[in-house]
Structure 1
């Protein structure tokens, strides 16, 4: 087991639609600090079987901090999907799921903001977390456009009605049903978004074609990329739950390396950083516990900031140009390219 993984008890399994369910997880008191989360974040779950000891999949939290006493992830079946079908078919109350602590950057900077939200299918999962957290605070508002195949496939239909009824002046929900209106197009999405283009930020989650169409529509309205936050999940090929392998001492002697100063969890560490070993792997083999999840450059959970020196990334599917300009890098993909590098996770 990874030094960051924890087993959480399943308290309940809720059927949301014919092909989606929510899994409610308890958090033992001694783990509460590690499972503090922000609305819109996700859990990485270990799925038994598959190749080797198991596979890992990321599922968004549909619960919201401050409003829900337990954690809840929502899973929609994917045809041929090992993780989603195993969770929907076999997980029951009393089971234990092995998970990594909450991660993700799909979360608003402020819950007092006015947000424009787009979701399709199970993309509603992190979005409803944001909506509930926002309504629990004062000042913010949200307009949500939610696309689905038909009325029967609308996840959280009842909960969304209740949320609108509780705060009609702060939440507007518009359902887009393929069975009635056809698939959303860039043109139709542009028309829907136009009256709300001045909102503080836009969040998009759903299938790739939907997200691409929404992003194009928002761009055509002059909404800057810095105001558009997207969430894209990939099936992970690696196993972030595996025990980290030690780096042989001779690799530090024989390899070219940089001098690393890193701030992590309130402490500073000075390390030799071999130029062919990722920052995340180095820290984990040194017994430290940096944040991480996918280890593949997809999720952004392991992001840190370069203060001095330079590092390059082998892969980056989550950081925007604005993030890079601020010095952010993904530690799971980072290699040093200067003799000295200083980074911070704090």
Structure 2
């Protein structure tokens, strides 16, 4: 026996005989176990529970993290890139984005042993919710992560599924999980990996599909794509292009599923969201009998008038305020904020714990004021 164990039980064995599933309501702390370099600007962060526990989730779901950065709590959602078939740890895979407050903090400071808080798993973007014999996974950039979780799951279970995985990247050097995906394709005749690159990498000339995904390219790579259940994830322009491409091809869009979290692109996303919020509010005249409340954002010292039938987030966006958010359904927790004073009517979908509500927290995307408010933002 190794002397470093001092006669104690093997730690790995203890973790593999975990008594139950990790429950964020009981203990929301995760410990970083490993950091793995995937590409020059993408890393995978592996987390485990503080005590031996296992993770129960559907491939494609996400976790909402509460990161303490610069004295501020920032909530971000990251899709799980690991597979539930390997339940003792859970992983997220993050691309470093220039100016991105969270991605840069993770790359620069997250190390084995460091603790973070998380909520979840959550989300309805999963192959388990849409069983099929044939799948088409379409991803762009960091959108590879949920597809990787699904692919790893089917591979581990040796499921007789026909999966075509088409991934778009800038260069060969930017293909995340390239070696593993190529190995899975070599071992499993039912799994095909089709990467598309916009251009060559400095150290590698690309000989595969080049440019951006198009209908002729897809028809050549996956001729039977109309017969498949389709999952799409990537940047907003990528998903919009794929959505139009599939609709133009006459695809049954009831079998088209998509998800995206563009947290590091808040400027453009917030501008579009502000326009949408304004249009929605302008299209819904406020009757005279509807009360309007005053919402104060204490940190920015901004004031917003918010009708009782409008969410605080929509009112703030219409006023031009930049507030982090993503799902707008009370699911992801990104817009979670402290109510210094006042009350709201909040109808959430699981993105906040009861103890947080009891402590005065609220999700602004699904909270309508029932009094004047002061929000710690």
The 1:194/1:82 distance shift into structure 2, 3 A limit, reads: same
Is residue 62–residue 129 contact of structure 1 (8 Å, CA) maintained in 2? yes
Shift of 1:30: 7.1
Structure 2 residue corresponding to 1:222, chosen from 250, 275, 288: 250
In structure 2, the residue matched to 1:211 is 239
Mapping for residues 136-151 of structure 1, pairs under 5 Å: 136-137=156-157, 138-151=159-172
In structure 1, the residue matched to 2:226 is 198
The 1:193/1:284 distance shift into structure 2, 3 A limit, reads: same
Shift of 1:296: 6.2
In structure 2, the residue matched to 1:279 is 347
Structure 2 residue corresponding to 1:80, chosen from 99, 113, 137: 99
2:45 equivalent to 1:17: no
137-146 vs 80-89, which deviates more?
137-146
Q: Structure 2 stretches of 5 or more lacking a match?
A: 1-23, 200-205, 264-322, 326-332, 370-377
Structure 2 residue corresponding to 1:129, chosen from 108, 125, 149: 149
In structure 2, the residue matched to 1:233 is 261
Shift of 1:67: 3.6
- RMSD of the alignment, in Å? 3.4
Is residue 27–residue 71 contact of structure 1 (8 Å, CA) maintained in 2? no
Larger Rg: 2
The 1:103/1:94 distance shift into structure 2, 3 A limit, reads: same
Mapping for residues 284-323 of structure 1, pairs under 5 Å: 295=363
Structure 1 residue corresponding to 2:195, chosen from 175, 192, 215: 175
In structure 1, the residue matched to 2:281 is none
Q: Structure 1 stretches of 5 or more lacking a match?
A: 252-275, 298-331, 336-346
In structure 1, the residue matched to 2:123 is 104
Aligned residues: 267
Cα displacement string for residues 215-237 of structure 1 (whole angstroms, at most 9, x for unaligned residues): 11211222122111111114372
Structure 2 residue corresponding to 1:120, chosen from 140, 148, 155: 140
The 1:5/1:245 distance shift into structure 2, 3 A limit, reads: farther
In structure 2, the residue matched to 1:342 is none
In the alignment, the residues of structure 1 paired with residue 179 and residue 170 of structure 2 have an alpha-carbon distance, to the nearest angstrom, of: 17
Structure 2 residue corresponding to 1:7, chosen from 29, 38, 48: 29
In structure 2, the residue matched to 1:153 is 174
TM-score scaled by structure 1? 0.67
